[in-house]
Amino acid sequence: MSKLHVFNHPLISHKLTNIRKVTTATKDFRETVNEIAGLMAYEITRDLKLQDVTIETPVATTTQKELAQEVFIIPILRAGLGMVDGINRLIPTAKIGHIGIYRDEETLEPKEYFSKLPQGLETAMNLVVDPMLATGGSAIAAITMLKARGAQTIKLVCLVGAPEGVEAVHAAHPDVDVYLASLDEKLNDKGYIVPGLGDAGDRLFGTK
Ligand code: PRP
Ligand code: URA
């Protein structure tokens, strides 16, 4: 059964408050989204697989641990792109796959328009990243696509989520853990998260 993990950390709470403010400029918004994503990734990757490796230090031969599993960062375009650099800074060897999905503004239905994914989805830890989990439609579609291509270990990483979206992801993909910096109150009648932070893609890229 999947789990919801909501980060309860003063640094994350403080940074999130900053990007919620309507007055926060694009540059600060973009930097802070990456900072939060990086902080979250440190904890989310706690169960990465390790293997023994024998190395020489300047003093002795010793058996130590190294990563035995790849990390794939898979942003849902566009807004997911805003989280990639922050995670990639922590895991420079991570490969990056892209899934293009936008939400139809009238129906709120997810529309897929692009995908380009690395080889090895079966064994990697696949981090699907998107700042916003609203109805859950976009995340569910992205996870469905990854599973169809063989992905086994998938984690959904969002900054702000609505209870409706969390429920929908749990129902559609009970094996996928959901990580949020904040679980907000609800969706409004336009499908925006309340209190939320507005349209994450527009705020990241300055398009509105
Ligand atoms: C936003 C957001 C998520 C989606 C969440 O993307 O980045 O992908 O909406 O909503 P949902 O949970 O109801 O599917 P949007 O469709 O605005 O596209 P964009 O990232 O290109 O701006
Ligand atoms: N997408 C966003 O960017 N913001 C919301 O509040 C909901 C969906």
Query: Residue 1 above 90 pLDDT?
Result: no
Q: What percent of the chain has pLDDT over 90?
A: 96
| CA R_g for the chain | 18
Task: Specify the pLDDT at position 208.
Answer: 81
The residue written with tokens 């995670």 in the block is 87
Distances (CA, A) of 198 to 53, 110, 201: 47, 18, 9
Q: Output the residue whose Cα is nearest ligand 2's atom 5.
A: 192
Residue 110 Cβ inside 6 Å of ligand 1? The answer reads yes
How much is the pLDDT for 164?
97
Q: What is the pTM of this model?
A: 0.96
Q: Name residues whose C-beta falls within 8 Å of residue 12's C-beta, 6 or more positions apart in sequence.
A: 36, 39, 40, 181
Report how far residue 198's alpha carbon sits from residue 196's, in angstroms, rounded to the nearest whole number: 6
Q: How many contiguous H segments (helices) and E segments (strands) does the chain have?
A: 6, 13
- Write down the pLDDT at residue 200: 98
3-state SS assignment for residue 132: strand
What is the mean predicted confidence (pLDDT) over 106-119? 94
CB of 134 sitting under 6 A from ligand 2: yes
pLDDT tens digits for range 126-172: 999 999 999 999 999 999 999 999 999 999 999 999 999 999 999 99
The position carrying tokens 């925006």 is 192
